[in-house]
Amino acid sequence: MSEALPSRVRVVEVGPRDGLQNEPQALGIAERIQLCEALVASGVRHLEVGSFVSPKWVPQMAGTAEVLAGLGRPAGVVRSVLVPNMKGFEAALAAGVEEIAVFAAASEGFSQRNINCSIAESLARFVPVVEGAQAAGIRVRGYVSCVLGCPYDGGIAPDQVASVTRELLELGCAEVSLGDTIGVGTPGRTRALWQRLGREVPLSQLAGHFHDTYGQALANVYASLLEGVAVFDSSVAGLGGCPYASGASGNVASEDLVYLLDGLGIASGLDLPQFIEAGHQVSAQLGRRNESRVGRARAARALD
C-alpha cells in the first residue's frame, strides 16, 4: 500500500464521449467540435472525442468522424475513440486517431446488454482490432466496466476484475481503465480493489473511471491516489452516464477533479477557470444543470 500521493496526474477527458452518449438530446456536430476545442484550450491533452459504435444503439455518437475532422489534430493532443469491433476500428483508422479504446466488462450481464456478446467473445473480437491498431501505430486503451458492481449481476468479485484486466493488457492494451459504471463503489472497496489488482498487474498501467451516482466519485479518486493510481477519467460538467446502466449518473466532473488535484498540489496541466467556462457552455447548450459542484459554486460567487 502506497501512501505518497503522485506528484502528477494524467486526466483523460471523456465528456464528449461518455458524457454526450447518454444525454437525451444529441448535441450537433458543430457544438461537439466547439466542446472539444474548449477542452483543448483548457489544457486537455488526452481527449475521448466519441465512439465508432452502432448508431442504432447509441445515436448520440453518430457523426464522430465529422467531429474528428472538424477538430483537426491539435498539437500534443491524443484523440481517442471507443471501438467495439473491426467495423469500428476501420472507421477509427480512416479518421486518423492517435488512440482507440476497446471496452469489456467484468460482468456477463453488462457485457450482453452493452455489446451483445459474452466477455470471452468480446475479448476474442478485440484480438484483430488490437493487432490492426498496433500495425498502424495507434495506441490501444482498454476499459473494464462494472468493477465495483453491476446493474444486472449485482456484486462483482475482484478476482474477476483482475482476470479481465490482465487479459486486456496481455492482448496489447497500453493502459486499462477500471470503470465503476454505476457509481456504487466506496473508498474502502476501491482501495481494496487496487490492492488486489496491484498483486497481478502494474498499477502504472491502470486508470480510474468513477461515475458519481452515489456521490462517491471524488472520494474514490482520493482513495485511488492514496494507492498510487495516477490516471483518471473525468467528464466536463459531470455530463452523462451510460445508456446500458439505467439511473447511472455522469463521471466525476472534470472541474471538481481539477479543484481536488490543485488543492493537493498535484500537477495536471489543466486550467480550472477555462474548464469551468467549457462546463457552463455545454450545460447551457444541452439545457441541463451543470453537475460540477465547483462550476456551480463559482457561478454563484460571480453573482454575489
User: What's the min distance (Å) between Cβ of 5 and ligand HMG?
Assistant: 24
3-class SS at 46? strand
CA-closest candidate to residue 53, choices 97, 101, 15, 19: 101
Taking Cα atoms as reference points, which of 238, 189, 186, 183 lies closest to residue 213?
183
Taking the C-alpha atoms of residue 207 and residue 14, their distance in angstroms, rounded to an integer, is 13
Q: Which 91-110 residues touch ligand HMG, going by CB under 6 A?
A: 103
173 is catalytic: no
Q: In the structure grid, which three cell numbers stand for residue 45, read together?
A: 491533452
Minimum CB distance to ligand HMG smaller for 119 or for 272: 119
The verdict on 116 binding ligand HMG (CB under 6 A) reads yes
Residues 231-250 that bind ligand HMG (CB under 6 A): 242-244
Q: How far is Cα 152 from Cα 178, in angstroms, rounded to an integer?
A: 18
CB 220 within 8 A of CB 85: no
Closest distance to Mg ion from the beta carbon of 231 (Å): 15
**Chain center to CA of 17:** 8
Shortest-Cβ-distance residue relative to ligand HMG: 179
CA atoms in the 13 A half-sphere facing the CB of 117: 13
> Closest separation between CB of residue 195 and ligand HMG, Å?
20
Tell me the window of 54-62, 69-77, 223-231, 253-261 that interacts with ligand HMG (CB under 6 A): 54-62
18 binds Mg ion (CB under 5 A): yes
Q: Which residues bind ligand HMG (CB under 6 A)?
A: 18, 21, 51-54, 57-58, 82, 84-85, 87-88, 103, 114-116, 143, 145, 179, 181, 209, 211, 242-244
For Mg ion, the binding residues (CB under 5 A) are 18
